[in-house]
Chains A and B, each alone.
Chain A
Amino acid sequence: GAGVSQTPSNKVTEKGKYVELRCDPISGHTALYWYRQSLGQGPEFLIYFQGTGAADDSGLPNDRFFAVRPEGSVSTLKIQRTERGDSAVYLCASSLQRGSYNEQFFGPGTRLTVL
């Protein structure tokens, strides 16, 4: 079956612009995670959705970052007024459900470059 997909695979934008990154989780997975991976670092948690609601957004770095999952499937990470420090690979992962640990399946990521 299809895995987690993310679009675009690469995004180059200018400082101050707005960007949207899309994640399509595995069908039937109710839990969805966003992580950010900077060069030479491990992924860092941003936000977690259970169904349509953001159950934990404690990892969002500031109010320029926002994410939605309106129908409990596809999610969009939105970044306003992008800064050069936002350049990173943004990873999405999904899992069957919360509760005892369920394996998170990762997408290939979106590489964001802010010039």
Chain B
Amino acid sequence: GDSVTQMEGPVTLSEEAFLTINCTYTATGYPSLFWYVQYPGEGLQLLLKATKADDKGSNKGFEATYRKETTSFHLEKGSVQVSDSAVYFCALVGYGGATNKLIFGTGTLLAVQP
């Protein structure tokens, strides 16, 4: 079945450092890909998405490119801030699925130090 694998955390960075969180997926066809973020004490929020190969999703300085050839959707940010500290989840919705159910990775905790 469809699955998502993302790098284990925690990832600890200093403010203004470059961030990469790796995400790869296994799915038939052309899934839609997502990054969700969970800030401390808050619910899951959609950060960005991409629905077809070579699409780039972006939001709040974060970017991720849908790479069909490497089945990847890595999350990047050029300069992280303390306020970016959160748990980040990579997820997919299978192609042609009737329910749009999300399949999540295990999450990566990001801690940004001042």
Query: Which A residues are within 8 Å of any B CB, using their own CB?
Result: 3-4, 31, 33, 35, 40-45, 48, 55-56, 59, 91, 93, 95, 98, 101-104, 106-109
B42 interfacial by beta-carbon distance below 8 Å:
yes
Chain A residues with Cβ under 8 A from B51's Cβ?
101
Docked Cα-Cα span, A12 to B103, in Å, equals 27
- Closest-CB distance, A52 to chain B (whole angstroms): 16
Chain A residue at minimal CB-CB distance from B90? A42
Docked Cα-Cα span, A31 to B101, in Å, equals 11
Query: Which B residues are within 8 Å of any A CB, using their own CB?
Result: 4, 32, 42-46, 49, 51, 89, 91, 93, 98-107
In the complex, are the beta carbons of B98 and A45 less than 8 A apart? no
In the complex, are the beta carbons of A44 and B104 less than 8 A apart? yes
In the complex, are the beta carbons of B45 and A98 less than 8 A apart? no
Query: What are 19 sample pairs from A and B whose C-beta atoms fall under 8 A apart?
Result: A4-B43, A33-B102, A40-B107, A41-B106, A42-B91, A42-B106, A42-B107, A43-B44, A43-B89, A43-B104, A45-B102, A48-B100, A98-B99, A101-B32, A101-B49, A101-B100, A102-B100, A104-B102, A108-B42
Chain A residues with Cβ under 8 A from B44's Cβ?
43, 91, 93, 106
Docked Cα-Cα span, A35 to B36, in Å, equals 14
Docked Cα-Cα span, A107 to B59, in Å, equals 21
Which single member of B101, B105, B106 contacts A48 (CB below 8 Å)?
B101
Chain B residue at minimal CB-CB distance from A6? B43
Docked Cα-Cα span, A48 to B91, in Å, equals 17
Docked Cα-Cα span, A103 to B44, in Å, equals 12
Chain B residues with Cβ under 8 A from A95's Cβ?
100
Chain B residue at minimal CB-CB distance from A103? B46
In the complex, are the beta carbons of B100 and A98 less than 8 A apart? yes
Docked Cα-Cα span, A35 to B100, in Å, equals 13
